[in-house]
Amino acid sequence: MRSTRLPRLDERPSVGARHDVGRAVDVTAAGTTLARYVYVPDDAQLESPRPYVHPLRTRGGDLVSAFRPWDHVWHKGVSWSLPVVGEHNFWGGPTYVHGQGYVQLDNDGSMDHQDLRVLAVGADRVDLAHTLAWHTQAGEHVVDEARALGFVVPADRPDAWVLTFATTMTNVSAHDLTIGSPTTRGRENAGYGGLFWRGPRSFTDGVLVAPDGTGGEELRGTRQPWLGLVGRHDDVGRASTVVMVDGTGEADGAGPQWFARVEQFGCLNPAPFFSTEVPFGPGGTVTFRYAVVVADGASDIERAGALAALGTSVLDGPDAGPAGRAATTSGLPVATAGGPTSGLPAATAVGSS
Summarize pLDDT for 1-36 with one digit per residue, the tens.
Answer: 788 888 777 777 789 999 999 999 999 999 999 999
Paired sense of beta strands 239-246 and 32-38, if any? unpaired
Instruction: For residue 239, give its domain range.
Output: 12-327
Q: Tell me the CATH number at 98.
A: 2.70.98
In the chain, % of residues over pLDDT 90: 84
* CB distance 291 to 316 below 8 Å: no
Q: Is the pLDDT of residue 324 over 80?
A: no
Q: Is residue 335 part of a domain?
A: no
Share above pLDDT 70 across residues of the chain, in percent, rounded to a whole number:
91
How far is CA 298 from its chain centroid? 22
Question: Is 345 within the bounds of a domain?
Answer: no
Q: How many CB atoms lie within 10 A of CB 236?
A: 11
Residue 85 to residue 180: CA distance in whole angstroms: 7
Residue 188 lies in a domain: yes
Q: What is the pLDDT of residues 56-114, one digit of tens each?
A: 999 999 999 999 999 999 999 999 999 999 999 999 999 999 999 999 999 999 999 99
Q: Residue 49: pLDDT band by 50, 70, 90 thresholds?
A: very high
In the chain, the number of structural domains is 1
Alpha-carbon 310 to chain mean position:
17
Q: Is residue 339 part of a domain?
A: no
Residue 310 falls inside a structural domain: yes
Contacts of 193 (CB under 8 A, 6+ apart): 81, 82, 83, 84, 91, 179, 180, 181, 259, 269, 271, 272, 273, 274
- 338 within some domain: no
Backbone angles phi, psi at 78, to 5 degrees: -110, 125
Domain assignment present for residue 344? The answer is no
User: What are the C-alpha distances in Å from 335 to residues 115, 131, 190, 247, 338?
Assistant: 25, 20, 27, 19, 9
Q: Poorest-confidence range of 10-19, 32-41, 151-160, 293-302?
A: 10-19
Q: Is 56 left (phi over 0), alpha (psi -120 to 50) or beta?
A: beta
Q: Identify whether 4 is part of a domain.
A: no
- 3 or 221: which leads in pLDDT: 221
